Amino acid sequence: EVQLVQSGAEVKKPGESLKISCKGSGYSFTSYWIGWVRQMPGKGLEWMGIIYPGDSDTRYSPSFQGQVTISADKSISTAYLQWSSLKASDTAMYYCARLFHSNYLYFDYWGQGTLVTVSS
Amino acid sequence: DIQMTQSPSSLSASVGDRVTITCRASQGISNYLAWFQQKPGKAPKSLIYAASSLQSGVPSKFSGSGSGTDFTLTISSLQPEDFATYYCQQYNSYPWTFGQGTKVEIK
């Protein structure tokens, strides 16, 4: 059974750093892209970027390029989303999701989400 | 960026109703369109990819159609568990973009 299990909720202050995780199981972690999606409170879904754990090839949405870093550790089947300096506007739910690949990539399985709250 | 516009933004329907949600892309995306269902407090669930192909385990009451710029998601007979927000998403070109969502509520 494919599963993506995300790390727990975080409460941080502005300016702090943070790294959240997404651990894949039940499939070959290095053979599928993983994507990250943001959902701000009461709002819709926003695509942030994707990573191929096999070689760490990464693509970012221009809206998030330079604001976050996506990485992966294939030895422990885990993808990461990190911030070096959080802002209040980073308060949101963050989802990871696996991407199936045929001709194109599309989301199939989703993690349960990690709530990040940034407040002074 | 490709803009995805869903209509309506919300709708009220009764159990047993046939419901159709529309998604329009600002430029042609072939059939590189997905649909997701999200219930309150839960992660999105993938329903459809390639505009009309059901994800594994998704019941056949959900169907999708369209190509180019205009797409629809249809629920053939609405059940209590289908009340949720539905999103479309294009994966034809980066950056991938989602529609704003359609909230399906109980009448």
- The predicted-structure confidence for B54-103, as pLDDT tens digits, reads as follows 999 999 999 999 999 999 999 999 999 999 999 999 999 999 999 999 99
CA distance A41 to chain B (A): 11
The predicted pLDDT at position A102 comes to 81
Interface residue of B45, B46, B48, B90 to substitute, partner A, most A CBs within 10 Å: B46
DSSP code at position B44: -
Q: What is the pLDDT of residue A103?
A: 80
Closest by Cα among A70, A115, A65, A69 to A91:
A115
Q: In the predicted model, what is the mean pLDDT of residues A93-104? A: 93
Return d(Cα A4, Cα A47) in angstroms, integer. 17
Tell me the pLDDT tens digit for each residue of A15-48.
Answer: 999 999 999 999 999 999 999 999 999 999 999 9
Rounded Cα distance, A87 and A62, in Å:
18
Contacts of A27 in chain B (CB under 8 A): none
For residues A113 and A7, the answer to whether their CB atoms sit within 8 Å is no
